[in-house]
Amino acid sequence: ETGVTQTPRHLVMGMTNKKSLKCEQHLGHNAMYWYKQSAKKPLELMFVYSLEERVENNSVPSRFSPECPNSSHLFLHLHTLQPEDSALYLCASSQEGGQPEKLFFGSGTQLSVL
């Protein structure tokens, strides 16, 4: 069982659909993250949760809505997305205060918006 599990691995959705991405970490970490990865671009931090409280929202459009019900689970709810939102969405976790504070990533959800 891998440390950080993401489902689904692939998702195709229309612009009017509503879908959710799921992430689960089995590492006992206290921080979780959503990143967007587009081809040939740096990773973009979308949301950070620390101890289940959202601590950062990097000006992400409201069509992306995160949810962190507990320290092991993280969701990203998607609605009325645009084609430019097509990308790989990565979930990560870390133990705050770790030296160094390494990120552990899931394998991502490859999202295509038609």
Partner 1 sequence: GQNIDQPTEMTATEGAIVQINCTYQTSGFNGLFWYQQHAGEAPTFLSYNVLDGLEEKGRFSSFLSRSKGYSYLLLKELQMKDSASYLCAVMDSNYQLIWGAGTKLIIKP
Query: Counting contacts by CB under 8 A, is residue 100 touching partner 1?
Result: yes
Applying CB under 8 A, among 1, 16, 42, 84 the residue interacting with partner 1 is 42
The half-sphere exposure of 21 on its side-chain side, counting CA atoms within 13 A, is 30
Alpha-carbon span 93 to 30, nearest angstrom:
8
Applying CB under 8 A, among 11, 76, 81, 90 the residue interacting with partner 1 is 90
Applying CB under 8 A, among 1, 16, 40, 83 the residue interacting with partner 1 is 40
Query: Counting contacts by CB under 8 A, is residue 34 touching partner 1?
Result: no
CA distances from 7 to 24, 65, 101 (A): 9, 16, 25
Report yes or no: 23 and 68 within 8 Å, Cβ to Cβ: no
Query: Counting contacts by CB under 8 A, is residue 43 touching partner 1?
Result: yes
Which residues of the shown chain bind partner 1 in the complex (CB under 8 A)? 2, 4, 40-43, 45, 90, 100-108
